[in-house]
Amino acid sequence: MKTFLLTITAATILITGVATAQDAPFAREIKVRQGIMGYRTMNVAILGAMAKGEVDYNAEQAQKAADNLLTAASIDMSMLWPEGSDDFANPDTRALAKIWEGGSDVGAKAQALVDAATAMQAAAGIDLASLQGALKGVGDACTACHEAYRASAN
């Protein structure tokens, strides 16, 4: 009997756990914004590989990646960042509650990415040196926002 009860209890905990994961708060918003973030990364990776010399510089491909990066940086994401969709509400995200707190400059940091991506769009198709020069600005924009508003990876 005792074992039976224990099994039931364990099963209940398991089922509850699964249910919570499925119905996790803001699961959809988090998934979509991570997708947009991934698409930015994908295009940065194309530019980064050329900057590193892993692949030959190709003006056309570089321009396309830079155009995509700017597009993905400029999307209106206000529907995807409802207040409270932070790492406390749902561990699938590393977004910190600070994003929505008073004094948050998350908007300015998002704009800094748009600015850096705009500079990259102007530079990427010129030549490799111009692309390399603009990549640091993109990296700085990513780092600044992540360091301020993203929980550290553990």
Least CB distance from residue 132 to other proteins, whole Å?
Answer: 8
Nearer of residues 13 and 105 to other proteins, judged by Cβ: 105
Count of residues near other proteins by CB under 8 A: 21
What lies within 8 Å, CB to CB, of 60 at 6+ separation is 125
DSSP 105-151: -HHHHHHHHHHHHHHHHHHTTT-HHHHHHHHHHHHHHHHHHHHHHBP
Quick count: other Cβ atoms within 10 Å of Cβ 26?
Answer: 19
27 and 92 Cβ atoms separated by less than 8 Å: yes
Nearer of residues 124 and 142 to other proteins, judged by Cβ: 142
CA angle 115, 75, 150 (to 5 degrees): 75
Residue 35 lies near other proteins (rule: CB under 8 A): no
Figure out which of the listed residues 1, 4, 54, 83 binds other proteins, where binding follows CB under 8 A.
54
Residue 80 lies near other proteins (rule: CB under 8 A): no
Window contacting other proteins (CB under 8 A); options: 14-22, 40-48, 70-78, 82-90: 40-48
- Tell me which residues touch other proteins (CB under 8 A): 41, 44-45, 48, 51-54, 135-136, 138-140, 142-144, 146-147, 152-154
